[in-house]
Amino acid sequence: MDGNVKNIETLGEQSANGLSSMSGVIILKVPENSTLADFGFVKSDVIVSVNGVEVKNFEQLQILIERKTEKKSYTVSLMRDQKIQNIRIEL
């Protein structure tokens, strides 16, 4: 990933992002003209699943992305402004 991310680790982060559990990966920075920006991610998005598989932490996100590289597209579910949204990524 070409931005800065971190795991959801505190109850404050969980609550502030409207999450039902302390899992997910929050995007701290989305550089201009980056792959993340091109796909539609913005700062403070919390990635919660990839193709319906819950993302608990960054390590699991990396594994899911590596597995998905054989596919031409996948869906990332995220929390933005405490609402779930889906981003479809075409490779």
Query: What's the whole-model pTM score?
Result: 0.90
Give the whole-angstrom CA distance, residue 23 versus residue 19.
8
Sorted by sequence, the CB contacts under 8 Å of residue 74 that are 6+ apart come out as 50, 51, 68, 88, 89
Q: Which two tokens stand for residue 12?
A: 């404050």
Q: Answer whether 55's CB lies under 8 Å from 46's CB.
A: no
Nearest CA among 13, 72, 73 for reference residue 48 = 13
The percentage of the chain sitting over the pLDDT mark of 70, rounded to a whole number, equals 92
pLDDT in tens, 25-52: 999 999 999 888 999 999 999 999 999 9
Identify the structural domains of the chain with CATH numbers, from first to last: 4-90 (2.30.42.10)
